[in-house]
């Protein structure tokens, strides 16, 4: 039996803030838009936002996602609460997208907004204390640790610059790393700073009662902290993008490269949000989603 095929102007892969904002803008340009992916798998689903412009009170990410979906529905987008299994480039530069229910969606333009998943430390306590002292984002949660003691784990720029940022907020900042792999100038700043450095140490457990209280090291020693930032980088959902020949950042192949119109190197394919690299913030995701939605709508109308 042949698979059901449905045609749309634009298929958006990802229903986080980037994909929802793209749907909202593309829908308003009177294009037929399909949004794929599960709202609950958006990073925003687990966030409490405090640093999003014009929302002075802390808002729950899952509430924002629900409202974003309603707005996108009102602008005419249709939702398939399903993951993408495969993707292909067809004749005339159109795309075909296979989803879990075995439907094939055809589109003139694609927007890739599948987000990222952060690399874990994989130690006891990490999951249990997520949001109770364990964080993966200094920009998001640093402000909660005013005057407290925090540790940052990681050897790359995100960890080193995260620790520098935390120095402006916290009382004491520990940086736990293997070997710093950062630019000479950042290394210099870290060396001259008040960051307490722990080269070559490895955290093996995070402990506490209601929230994080201490870290345990490989040699059994412990260190009291109020919070730990795990800055070990991230993986993007890049398999699908690579299959289409979309260019990734040449340094570490973790992010999709776009220009200011959110265009990738493949005509008709746009990308937005965390999948395009840091800062991993809602404000950036919706900004890029807006541009991608408008540009994809203009492209679809021409093709």
Ligand X SMILES: Cc1cc2nc3c(=O)[nH]c(=O)nc-3n(C[C@H](O)[C@H](O)[C@H](O)COP(=O)(O)OP(=O)(O)OC[C@H]3O[C@@H](n4cnc5c(N)ncnc54)[C@H](O)[C@@H]3O)c2cc1C
Residue 208: HSE in the Cβ half-sphere, 13 Å Cα cutoff: 22
In the list 177, 255, 280, 299, the residue contacting ligand X (rule: CB under 6 A) is: 280
Nearest to residue 295, comparing CAs of 7, 50, 12, 25?
25
Q: Measured from the CB atom, is 144 or 217 closer to ligand X? A: 144
Please say which residue, 42 or 262, places its beta carbon nearer to ligand X. 42
Asked if 236 is part of the footprint of ligand X (rule: CB under 6 A), the reply reads: no
Instruction: Give DSSP secondary structure letters for 123-161.
Output: -TTTTTTBTTTEES-HHHHGGGGTTSEEEEE-SBHHHHH
Dist CA 179 CA 243 (whole Å) = 34
Binding mask 193-232 for ligand X (x = CB under 6 A): ----------------------------------------
273 is an interface residue for ligand X by CB under 6 A = yes
Contact with ligand X (CB under 6 A): which of 282, 290, 294, 296? 282
Asked if residue 37 binds ligand X (CB under 6 A), the reply is yes
Contact characters 88-127, ligand X, x per CB under 6 A:
-------------------------xxx------------
Count of CB atoms within 10 A of residue 133's CB?
Answer: 24
Nearer to ligand X among residue 133 and residue 198 (C-beta): 133
CB of 97 to ligand X, least distance (A): 9
Residue 146 C-beta: closest distance to ligand X, Å: 15
Nearest distance in Å: CB 215, ligand X: 19
Interacting stretch for ligand X, rule CB under 6 A, among 50-58, 69-77, 200-208, 241-249?
50-58
Residue 134 or 182: the one with the smaller Cβ distance to ligand X is 134
Minimum distance, C-beta of residue 2 to ligand X, in the bound complex (Å):
23
Kind of pairing between the strands at 5-7 and 104-107: parallel
How far, CA to CA in Å, does 198 sit from each of 3, 34, 228, 234? 57, 49, 14, 22
Task: Report the helix count and the strand count for the chain, using DSSP H and E.
Answer: 7, 21
From residue 5 to residue 24, what is the string marking binding to ligand X with x (rule CB under 6 A)? --------xxxxxxx-----
CA pair distance 214, 150, nearest whole angstrom: 10
CA dihedral for 26, 115, 212, 144, sign (positive or negative)? negative
Q: How many angstroms separate the Cα of 265 from the Cα of each of 59, 85, 115, 257?
A: 36, 22, 19, 8
Interface pick for ligand X out of 10, 137, 151, 180 (rule CB under 6 A)? 137
As given in the structure block, the two tokens for residue 170 are 């916290």
Q: Which of 237, 290, 294, 296 binds ligand X (CB under 6 A)?
A: 237
Q: How far apart are CA 178 and CA 158, in angstroms?
A: 14
Question: Please, which residue, 17 or 27, has the CB nearer to ligand X?
Answer: 17
Residue of 98, 232, 283, 298 that binds ligand X (CB under 6 A): 283
- CA separation for the pair 34, 54 (Å, rounded): 29
Q: Any contact of residue 35 with ligand X (CB under 6 A)?
A: no
Binding site for ligand X (CB under 6 A): 13-19, 36-39, 41-44, 46-47, 49-52, 83-84, 113-115, 137, 140, 237, 273-275, 280-283, 285
């Amino acid at each position: 039996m042949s698979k059901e095929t449905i045609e749309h102007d634009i298929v958006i892969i990802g229903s986080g803030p980037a994909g929802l904002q793209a749907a909202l803008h593309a829908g308003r340009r009177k294009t037929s838009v399909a949004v794929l992916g599960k709202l609950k798998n958006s990073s925003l689903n687990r966030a409490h936002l405090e640093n999003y412009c014009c929302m002075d009170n802390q808002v729950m990410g899952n509430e924002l996602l629900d409202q974003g979906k309603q707005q996108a529905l009102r602008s005419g987008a249709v939702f398939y609460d399903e993951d993408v299994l495969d993707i292909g480039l067809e004749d005339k530069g159109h795309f075909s997208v296979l989803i879990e229910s075995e439907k094939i969606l055809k589109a003139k333009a694609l927007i890739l907004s599948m987000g990222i998943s952060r690399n874990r430390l994989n130690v006891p306590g990490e999951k249990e204390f997520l949001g109770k002292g364990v964080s993966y984002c200094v920009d998001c949660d640093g402000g909660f640790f005013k005057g407290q003691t925090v540790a940052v784990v990681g050897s790359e720029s995100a960890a080193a610059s995260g620790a520098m940022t935390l120095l402006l907020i916290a009382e004491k900042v520990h940086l736990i790393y293997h070997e710093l792999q950062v630019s000479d100038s950042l290394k210099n700043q870290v060396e001259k700073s008040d960051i307490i450095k722990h080269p070559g140490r490895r955290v093996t457990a995070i402990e506490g009662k209601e929230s994080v209280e201490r870290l345990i090291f490989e040699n059994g020693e412990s260190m009291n902290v109020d919070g730990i930032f795990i800055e070990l980088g991230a993986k993007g959902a890049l398999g699908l993008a690579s299959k289409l020949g979309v260019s990734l950042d040449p340094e570490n192949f973790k992010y999709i490269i776009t220009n200011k119109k959110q265009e990738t190197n493949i005509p008709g394919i746009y990308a937005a949000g965390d999948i395009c690299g840091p800062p991993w913030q809602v404000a950036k995701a919706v900004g890029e989603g807006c541009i991608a939605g408008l540009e994809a709508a203009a492209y679809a109308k021409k093709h």
